[in-house]
Chains A and B, each alone.
Chain A
Amino acid sequence: ETGVTQTPRHLVMGMTNKKSLKCEQHLGHNAMYWYKQSAKKPLELMFVYSLEERVENNSVPSRFSPECPNSSHLFLHLHTLQPEDSALYLCASSQVLGFSSYNEQFFGPGTRLTVL
């Protein structure tokens, strides 16, 4: 599959579980992002990586831990989540991290997470 892929597409976990979400982009981009999409809130930017370095952490609880081993892969490690963390988690990538009208973000299909 081309573009941005995410696995798994659906995940159900208990509050004591540890799981990881994976994102992979095949576009040769240098910036990657994690977003949270909840039913009643706008898209929330969680983390931003540029050239494998974290450049943004929007006050996200420590139970979410990102990892970017290389420019093509991004992980979100989950540990002792709460039911209110249930949401669609979207990964995105862009050519670079920077201000540009042409620096389009490409999104993955998302992982639907349910925390019981």
Chain B
Amino acid sequence: AQRVTQPEKLLSVFKGAPVELKCNYSYSGSPELFWYVQYSRQRLQLLLRHISRESIKGFTADLNKGETSFHLKKPFAQEEDSAMYYCALSSLATGKLIFGQGTTLQVKP
């Protein structure tokens, strides 16, 4: 079964601390993985996709097929990073997105 798991509902860190938002997936085949973000009072939007191997707003995510993980990392958290983060997997069969439960990141001053 295709599934995305984000084990932490809430992650609270202080400004300047490193951040790692965990994401594990279950998928048979080569997955396409994404991180979406929803800031307060804003719409859900794409943060980054694994194929691009890019860094957006200081965030990176590496696909680890051995551990079936796609954790989101940032070395120094900023207060403006506080938001809800969703990990998502694109289904090869249908092209639809399967979302994890989401993790709320709270960056304290």
The finding on whether chains A and B are genuine partners in a shared complex, rather than unrelated, reads yes
Contact with A along B79-106 (1 / 0, CB 8 A): 0000000100011111111111110000
Q: A45 to B99: give the CA distance in the assembly, Å.
A: 9
Asked if A107 CB lies within 8 Å of chain B CBs, one says yes
Asked if A56 CB lies within 8 Å of chain B CBs, one says yes
Of chain A, the residue at the smallest CB distance from B93 is A99
The answer to whether A99 touches B90, judged by C-beta atoms less than 8 angstroms apart, is yes
Q: A33 to B46: give the CA distance in the assembly, Å.
A: 16
Size category of the binding interface on chain B:
20 to 34
The 10 sampled A-B contact pairs (Cβ below 8 Å) are A41-B101, A43-B99, A48-B94, A92-B44, A97-B94, A97-B96, A100-B90, A101-B52, A101-B90, A104-B46
Excluding A42-B102, A103-B90, 4 further A-B contacts by CB distance (< 8 Å) are A33-B96, A45-B97, A90-B44, A107-B44
B residues apposed to A, CB below 8 Å: 4, 32, 42-46, 49-52, 86, 90-102
